[in-house]
């Protein structure tokens, strides 16, 4: 969910929100947009979906706009951005040191960015820290460090190249004594089907830290790097704790080690290639050759029917666990992880599910965590919206565990960060309440108190 649909743009245009009071030049009719719309329809069909059903009707156009907006950096040039924002600023009067427009490090920390992984086409998040050492008595408007970073982030990328491109552009445009860039990148994990179907990784993110430096930052062992890293530490950014890329790391993208789910259809492969071309990329560029295959590895996880059988096997055991006693007590399983794919944007949303229910006296979880986790995965691994996911899990659990069930789903929606609204820290919760949970606030409250505060371990 988190629909940023075409209506928004139209409203902005009608109301003259964009500066200059823009007029529409028919973006929806541009051949690149139409090509992506067609490609998305092929992908939806390949997933076994009907792209005319209510929730998917506008999805192809929404996806086309999102991906073009999210890769708008292809149409931008960094030098146009810095141009007007170089300001003369004196350095220290004595020549005994550095500050102001001559030497004296300037750092902007904690810029939130996102980019698209060139290996698998999924968005990844970035905490970007940029610094430079002024020279020639010229300083640059601080926001330009952010804007230049955005130009390169809004393309298909991999972390090291992104850092290098930001660094090179700033070095070229500002002509300072040096530029340093540190990116802390987070890529969604692919579920680990390799070891056991439902034994997924606990970590939701693959993390990677990359550095790039030019001028006085050319040498990674230069003392100025120590200063730069010290200034990150004040913000709680501990660079040592983040894995740096080793010489053997071919790619950080989990698509590269993810096991295949059967050979992808050639029509779907062609559709992804067509999307790459529409963005202005060359699908034959070395790094992109396998991208359609890898994107489909991800997408086909969400094919509608692929977990049916497993669940049916579990569900048959319902009667063994029917509740009879009135000496029941509140039971719960929290932090059941899930992956899902937003049907409005074809972008991941993922997070945790908490299930509360009443159970016969003494039996902590009569069906076991693994069945609950299976139910969660069954409804997660398809094109979904969070509200429906919540309801479906609740309905299934109640068919097994009786009428008193409460389900809380907490999720991060990629479409909330990689679309126009770019709300990086936002997080969505949905609730389903059945039986006594719907009528008894004390039961709800007791269950809600069992859910741990995970805010500090996120990101």
Which residues in 33-62 contact a second copy (CB under 8 A)? 54-55, 58
In the complex with a second copy, the residue whose CB is nearer, 3 or 363, is: 3
In the complex with a second copy, the residue whose CB is nearer, 231 or 311, is: 231
Nearest CA among 162, 77, 78, 145 for reference residue 105: 145
Q: What is the C-alpha to C-alpha distance for residues 170 and 193, in angstroms, rounded to an integer?
A: 42
> What minimum distance in Å lies between the beta carbon of 421 and a second copy?
5
Q: What is the C-alpha to C-alpha distance for residues 398 and 385, in angstroms, rounded to an integer?
A: 20
Nearest CA among 368, 372, 361, 298 for reference residue 335: 372
Give the helix/strand (H/E) hosting 63.
helix 59-70
Q: What is the C-alpha to C-alpha distance for residues 86 and 93, in angstroms, rounded to an integer?
A: 21
Q: Which residues, in sequence order, are CB contacts of 388 under 8 Å at separation 6+?
A: none
Task: Find the part of the chain contacting a second copy (CB under 8 A) among 204-212, 261-269, 283-291, 446-454.
Answer: 446-454
> What minimum distance in Å lies between the beta carbon of 35 and a second copy?
16
For 89, 211, 391, the CA distances from 416, given in Å and listed in that order, are 39, 27, 22
What mask of x and - would describe binding to a second copy in positions 331 to 350, judged by CB under 8 A?
A: -------------x------
Q: What is the C-alpha to C-alpha distance for residues 157 and 152, in angstroms, rounded to an integer?
A: 8
Q: What is the C-alpha to C-alpha distance for residues 456 and 453, in angstroms, rounded to an integer?
A: 7
Task: Find the part of the chain contacting a second copy (CB under 8 A) among 40-48, 322-330, 356-364, 450-458.
Answer: 450-458
- When binding is defined by CB under 8 A, the residue of 134, 178, 292, 348 that contacts a second copy is 134
- In terms of residues, how long is the chain? 459
> What minimum distance in Å lies between the beta carbon of 237 and a second copy?
8
> What minimum distance in Å lies between the beta carbon of 45 and a second copy?
21
> What minimum distance in Å lies between the beta carbon of 198 and a second copy?
24
The structure tokens listed for 147 are: 């804007």
Task: Find the part of the chain contacting a second copy (CB under 8 A) among 39-47, 107-115, 160-168, 206-214.
Answer: 107-115
C-beta separation of 406 from 447 below 8 A: yes
Q: By CB under 8 A, tell whether 206 contacts a second copy.
A: no
Task: Find the part of the chain contacting a second copy (CB under 8 A) among 139-147, 197-205, 282-290, 356-364.
Answer: 139-147
> What minimum distance in Å lies between the beta carbon of 347 and a second copy?
12
Nearest CA among 12, 124, 114 for reference residue 348: 124
At 391, is the secondary structure helix, strand, or coil?
A: helix
- When binding is defined by CB under 8 A, the residue of 100, 270, 360, 366 that contacts a second copy is 100
At 45, is the secondary structure helix, strand, or coil?
A: helix
Give the helix/strand (H/E) hosting 305.
none
> What minimum distance in Å lies between the beta carbon of 57 and a second copy?
10
Of residues 401-420, which lie at the interface with a second copy (CB under 8 A)?
A: 403, 405, 407-408, 410, 413, 415-416, 419-420
Task: Find the part of the chain contacting a second copy (CB under 8 A) among 144-152, 191-199, 213-221, 369-377.
Answer: 144-152
CA-based torsion, 359, 363, 365, 368: positive or negative: negative
Q: By CB under 8 A, tell whether 422 contacts a second copy.
A: yes
Count of residues that bind a second copy according to CB under 8 A = 132
- When binding is defined by CB under 8 A, the residue of 31, 52, 94, 266 that contacts a second copy is 94
C-beta separation of 73 from 98 below 8 A: no
Local structure of residue 244 (DSSP, 8 states): B
Q: What is the C-alpha to C-alpha distance for residues 429 and 353, in angstroms, rounded to an integer?
A: 10
Q: By CB under 8 A, tell whether 264 contacts a second copy.
A: no
Of residues 301-330, which lie at the interface with a second copy (CB under 8 A)?
A: none
Of residues 215-254, which lie at the interface with a second copy (CB under 8 A)?
A: 223, 226-227, 230-231, 233-237
In the complex with a second copy, the residue whose CB is nearer, 14 or 304, is: 14
- When binding is defined by CB under 8 A, the residue of 38, 45, 112, 287 that contacts a second copy is 112
Q: What is the C-alpha to C-alpha distance for residues 455 and 154, in angstroms, rounded to an integer?
A: 28
């Amino acid at each position: 969910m988190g629909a940023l649909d075409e209506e928004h743009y139209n409203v902005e245009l009608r109301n003259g929100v964009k500066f200059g009071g823009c007029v529409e030049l028919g973006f929806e009719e541009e051949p690149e947009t139409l090509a992506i719309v067609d490609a998305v329809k092929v992908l939806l069909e390949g997933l076994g979906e009907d792209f005319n059903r209510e929730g998917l009707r506008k999805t192809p156009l929404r996806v086309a706009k999102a991906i073009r907006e999210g890769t708008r950096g292809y149409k931008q040039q960094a030098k146009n951005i810095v141009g007007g924002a170089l300001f003369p600023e004196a350095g220290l009067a004595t020549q005994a040191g550095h500050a102001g427009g001559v030497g004296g490090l300037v750092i902007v920390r904690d810029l939130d960015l996102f980019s698209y992984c060139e290996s698998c086409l999924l968005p990844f998040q970035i905490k970007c820290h940029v610094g430079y050492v002024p020279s020639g008595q010229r300083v640059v408007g601080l926001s330009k460090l952010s804007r230049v970073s955005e130009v390169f982030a809004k393309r298909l990328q991999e972390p090291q190249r992104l850092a290098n491109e930001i660094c090179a552009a700033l070095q070229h445009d500002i002509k300072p004594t040096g530029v340093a860039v540190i990116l802390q990148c987070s890529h969604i994990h692919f579920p680990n089907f390799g070891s056991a179907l439902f034994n997924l990784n606990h970590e939701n993110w693959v993390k990677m830290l990359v550095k790039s430096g030019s001028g006085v930052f050319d040498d990674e062992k230069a003392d100025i790097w120590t200063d730069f890293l010290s200034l990150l530490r004040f913000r709680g950014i501990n660079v040592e704790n983040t894995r740096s890329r080793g010489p053997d790391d071919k790619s950080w993208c989990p698509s590269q080690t993810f096991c295949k789910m059967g050979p992808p259809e050639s029509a779907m492969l062609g559709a992804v290639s067509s999307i790459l071309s529409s963005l202005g990329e060359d699908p034959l560029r070395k790094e992109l050759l396998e991208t359609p295959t890898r994107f489909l590895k991800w997408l086909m996880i969400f094919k509608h029917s692929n977990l049916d059988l497993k669940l049916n096997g579990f569900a048959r055991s319902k009667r063994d666990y029917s509740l009879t006693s009135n000496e029941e007590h509140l039971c719960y399983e929290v932090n059941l992880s899930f992956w899902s794919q937003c049907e409005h944007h074809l972008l991941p949303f993922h997070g945790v599910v908490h299930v509360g229910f009443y159970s016969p006296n003494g039996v902590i979880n009569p069906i076991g965590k693994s069945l609950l986790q299976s139910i969660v995965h069954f409804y997660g691994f398809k094109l979904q919206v969070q509200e429906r996911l919540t309801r479906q899990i609740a309905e299934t659990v109640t068919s097994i565990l009786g009428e008193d069930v409460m389900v809380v789903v907490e999720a991060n929606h990629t479409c909330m960060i990689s679309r126009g609204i770019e709300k990086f820290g936002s997080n969505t919760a949905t609730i389903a309440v059945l039986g006594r949970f719907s009528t008894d606030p004390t039961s709800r409250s007791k269950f809600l108190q069992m859910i741990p505060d995970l805010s500090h371990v996120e990101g």
